[in-house]
């Protein structure tokens, strides 16, 4: 009879340990990260010809995905109206987003600021259940 209790205890312990391991693995999974960029374009032609192709290449090279937005595609739901260009980007995780941003800040300083002003926010995603 005691051996049955030992077996039952071992089975229960293995389930508890397995469940704990699954939770640890979920906690270690990297979450996607997003960029919401608000861009006030002052020179549409210069922006489209000189800056935009370089920015798009940077997004692609950094593993980013363009999810939405563009010129005059955002509406104000509350507060001040958005600038004339708002974009939403997705990256594999915050590390990828930060690597993208290092290159993007350099590009904006060298080229982009001639044609627009920028405000961008990085957001870590949440685990979907």
Half-sphere exposure of 116 (CA within 13 A, CB side): 28
Cα angle 122-128-129, degrees, rounded to a multiple of 5: 160
Q: Helices 52-61 and 94-110 meet at what angle, rounded to 10?
A: 160
Give the helix, strand, coil percentages of the chain, each rounded to 5: 50, 25, 25
Half-sphere exposure of 20 (CA within 13 A, CB side): 6
Cα–Cα distance, 87 to 68 (Å, whole number): 6
pLDDT tens figures, 3-53:
665 565 555 656 655 655 445 445 568 999 999 999 999 999 999 999 999
What is the model's pLDDT at position 15?
61
Tokens of 34: 């997003």
Q: What is the mean pLDDT of the chain?
A: 88
Identify the CATH assignment for 33-124 out of 3.30.1360.100, 1.10.3720.10, 3.40.50.2300, 3.30.70.100: 3.30.70.100
């Amino acid at each position: 009879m005691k051996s049955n209790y030992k077996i039952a205890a071992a089975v229960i312990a293995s389930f508890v340990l397995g469940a704990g391991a699954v939770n640890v693995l979920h906690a270690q999974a990297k979450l996607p990260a997003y960029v919401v960029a608000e861009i006030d374009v002052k020179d549409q032609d210069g922006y489209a010809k000189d800056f935009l192709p370089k920015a798009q290449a940077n997004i692609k090279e950094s593993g980013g995905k363009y999810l939405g937005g563009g010129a005059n595609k955002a509406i104000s739901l509350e507060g001040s109206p958005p600038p004339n260009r708002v974009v939403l980007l997705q990256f594999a995780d915050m590390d990828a987003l930060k690597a993208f941003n290092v290159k993007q800040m350099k590009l904006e300083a060298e080229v982009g600021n001639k044609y627009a002003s920028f405000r961008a926010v990085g957001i870590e995603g949440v685990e979907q259940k």
